[in-house]
Structure formats: C-alpha cells, structure tokens
Amino acid sequence: MGTQIDHIVIAAPNLKDLVSRFEKLTGVKAVAGGRHDTGTANALVPLKEPKGSYLELIGPDPEADAVTQDNFAIATTQSTEPRVAAWCVRPDDLEALAAKRGTQSQLMSRHTPEGTTLTWRLILPEPGVDFAPVPFAIDWLGSPHPSKVTEPQVSVHSFTVYGHSEPDELPEPAIFQEGKPLLELVLESPKGRVNLSDL
C-alpha cells in the first residue's frame, strides 16, 4: 500500500500565540485555515519538501464553547507548551488501512475563512498522549488540499519519530528511533535550520 506524509501537527493551548512563535522562529507566517467542528481552529504552512504536505498549527477555537474529546491533540492532553504532537499519512486506500488496523474511519470537516466547508475521512490517532508516534491517516475526498493555500517557504530537514516500532506505512522522510515517545521536527526555513522544539 502506497502512502505519503500528509501533514504534521503542531499543537498549543493558544493558536494565536503559536502562530506568532512560529513566525518568529522561522520567518514564515502561517495562513489561517479555519474552524473544526471539534472546537479547534488551525493555521497552515505548506511544505516545499515533502511536496504536497503541510504543517498544521492547531489550538482551541476562541469562538467555540469547548474542545470536544474528538480532538486528541488538545482535549486529551495536559501539555501547556507548543509541541509537535502527531503526524498524518495519506494512503492510497484509507479503508484498507483502517481494516488492517482493526478500526474505522470517521467523517470530519472544517469551515474555511472563505466560507467553504472541507470534508475528509480520518483514522484517528491514539488519544490521551502528548506525542502520538503512530501516524493517523486521511482521505481528503476531493476537497482542496491544504498544501496549496500559498507558496511554500519551508522544507523538512529531518523528522524523527521516537518510541514506536517502524510501521508498515513508512513514508519519507520519517525516521524511527527507539526511546520515550517524542516527535522531533527540524525545518529549513527563511531563517535557516530550526528545530521546532525551540518554539
């Protein structure tokens, strides 16, 4: 089964602060993505490499009443600092991957600032963890892909996944290492090489 990295999730308890920190570190301002039905909002950073991928900066939606348990990266963690929280792959056949993992995909959506609604199917990651080394998975169902929201300015230099035996769906440039669960992302940016642990 072919697969590639779709996006990498950077989560924080305050999205506006996260976007500001990211811009200060990299020199790149994330593009507003929109609001999820789970009570979160995001901002997007397309990647030069791997092509067709992006970074998702995510935090609670200030206009929502609460974040639901459906949003693992915010609702089910006690983390108070920005972190690389999870990563998502885009397989050739999402339902085949769901069957292989013994789970089911879920239909989800996001409302963009332009007033459109994007829908997709998702295999959710493990809840209740600060770092999710096992990738979740997505099928965009024909919705416009977030990697196309603007011209990319950053590339992945290295992406290291600690604490998980190498999965079958191994997309470049992910590297797997033993150790305590952690996701380490290093980017090539307009401000040079940066490690997102410095956010």
The full set of domains in the chain, from first to last, is: 3-198 (3.10.180.10)
pLDDT of residue 73: 63
Which pLDDT score is estimated for 45? 98
> CA-to-CA distance for 88 and 136, rounded, in angstroms?
5
Question: What is the DSSP secondary structure assignment for residue 172, as one 8-state letter?
Answer: T
> What are the pLDDT tens digits along the chain (199 aa)?
578 999 999 999 899 999 999 999 999 999 999 988 878 899 999 999 999 999 999 988 888 776 666 566 665 566 778 999 999 999 999 999 999 989 999 998 888 888 889 999 999 887 778 888 989 999 999 999 999 999 999 999 999 999 876 566 668 899 998 899 999 999 999 999 999 999 9
d(CA 10, CA 41): 12
- CB within 8 Å of 24: residues ≥ 6 apart: none
CA 193 – CA 36 distance, rounded (Å): 31
The reported pLDDT for the residue numbered 2 is 76
Q: Each residue of 145-160: pLDDT tens digit?
A: 999 999 999 999 999 9
The pair of structure tokens assigned to 169 is 């769906």
Q: Residue written as tokens 């963690």?
A: 77
Phi, psi at 42, each rounded to 5°: -140, 170
CA–CA distance, 110 with 177 (Å, rounded to integer):
33
Structure tokens at 82: 């920005």
Closest CA to 107 of 70, 73, 77: 70
Q: Which residues pair with 84 in a beta bridge?
A: 10
Cβ-in-10-Å burial (0-12, 13-18, 19+) of 116 comes to: exposed
Distance from the Cα of residue 11 to its chain's centroid = 8
Using an 8 Å Cβ cutoff, are 113 and 34 in contact?
A: yes
Name the one residue in this structure whose structure tokens are 């609604």: 117
Nearest to 56 by CA among 37, 68, 40: 40
Strand partners, 139: 121
pLDDT at 6: 97
Give the pLDDT confidence score for residue 76 in this predicted structure.
56
Can you give the pTM of this predicted structure?
A: 0.93
Please choose, from the candidates 101, 166, 178, 173, the residue with its C-alpha nearest in 3D space to the C-alpha of residue 137.
101
